[in-house]
Amino acid sequence: MKSKKVAKDRVGAALVGCGGIAKSQHLPNLARAPNLQLLAVCDVDERAARAAQAAYAVPRMTTRFEEILADPEIDLVVVATKEDAQVELTCRALEAGKHVYVEKPLATTPEDCRKVVQAQGRHHRLVQVGFNRRFAPACREARRILAPRGGPTNIHFRISDEYWSWGRAYPPGVRVIQEACHVFDLLRWLADSEVASVYCASARPDDEIYALKFTSGCVATVMCTGEVTLDLPKERIELVTRRPGALIIEEYVELRTYGCPDEPPVFRFPGHTHPDSEATHKYLFEQLGAEALAAFRKARWQLRNQEEAGELNPHDAELRRFLEQRFPHTNYLVDKGWRAALGHLADCILGRAAFEGPGPRDALAANLLAHAAMRSRETGEVVRL
């Protein structure tokens, strides 16, 4: 897709939707990216927009999206509302000549995803979807190692969370659309192939597996569960390579190689941090990898359980407060590529890089796969795509 090249050093950006992901990722990342300038924030909730403006000294705030569209200094609109509004806002921004970064899932239906594919075709602007894991340093390193080994032939991906403890954000059974979409996109990218068929075996809502076959011949299983506990690292990927060997990625902080004598046996990656957060974990993960992350998760989990049981002594209460206030939310401790994803799009707008996606067609592919998995769940049959 052609980009409207911007003749300056930094891309003028606006953030629309100042909620959870904006506060934990987009605001701090936009505010400190060398190739971006956060000029405006917008939210239908004025308090949310004002709080974001104050926290990051953003020049302008508004509750009216039209003001963002009319602002000639804004080249990029970052849309992080919810999937019910993201398609409409993205299409309107494209129509106004803006480039767009839009959160996942782009939409819940293939029909709505196609609206963005078509709008992009009409308006010739860049659209990047928030499948940020493609930009995680651990995943980029894995893809580099996979290429000369003929790519992966067999993958197992576990993505897990503890929905039961913090209340479900979504009706039961749609984790496949909301969360597995990240996995489906990453697997298509790592396998460098489209998915040919999917089979879903469901133990209970949001606790199931998907068996995928790719057109390349690669096969994958995805264990997707919202029913575990916080002390279990959230994501683990195991990949068998076509030439004998294997890789394991432990929640984006550690990549281990097997049968790859030309590569180090272990790569460790710094955690992700935030200007307002303690950075200690970042360097611990770089030094100690998965072990440090597991210890961090376990400490937080145990302290929370003790507090809930009324068994927290004053020393541990102090430690719990310190960990909760000073460090990022547990699922945001590691670098899943959020900052690099935005930086990549800005570089493309500035004409410094060629767009590598993921775009709306990738969002459509992930969404079609999620719906096929849900059909398989209902029928018990393999569904071909």
Ligand X SMILES: NC(=O)c1ccc[n+]([C@@H]2O[C@H](COP(=O)([O-])OP(=O)(O)OC[C@H]3O[C@@H](n4cnc5c(N)ncnc54)[C@H](O)[C@@H]3O)[C@@H](O)[C@H]2O)c1
Cα(358)–Cα(13) distance, integer angstroms: 19
Go through 158-176 and write b for each residue having 16 or more CB atoms within 10 A of its CB, e for each that does not. Answer: bbbbbbeeeeeeeeeebbb
State the number of binding residues for ligand X (CB under 6 A): 23
- Residue from 71, 75, 83, 208 touching ligand X (CB under 6 A): that is 83
Smallest distance, ligand X to C-beta of residue 46, A: 9
Q: Which is nearer to ligand X, 63 or 305 (CB)?
A: 63
Residue nearest to ligand X (CB): 19
Q: Which is nearer to ligand X, 320 or 336 (CB)?
A: 336
Q: Which is nearer to ligand X, 93 or 232 (CB)?
A: 93
60-62/36-42 β-pairing: parallel
Interface region with ligand X, contact rule CB under 6 A, candidates 18-26, 141-149, 298-306, 318-326: 18-26
φ, ψ (nearest 5 deg) of residue 344: -60, -45
Cα(102)–Cα(190) distance, integer angstroms: 22
Q: Per rule CB under 6 A, is residue 330 in the interface with ligand X?
A: no
Q: Which is nearer to ligand X, 80 or 190 (CB)?
A: 80
Contact string (CB under 6 A) for ligand X, positions 91-130, x = contact: ------------xx-------------------------x
- Residue from 6, 44, 353, 368 touching ligand X (CB under 6 A): that is 44
- Among residue numbers 165 through 224, which ones bind ligand X (CB under 6 A)? 178
Cα(103)–Cα(29) distance, integer angstroms: 14
Residues that bind ligand X (CB under 6 A): 16-22, 42-45, 48, 65, 80-83, 85, 103-104, 130, 132, 178
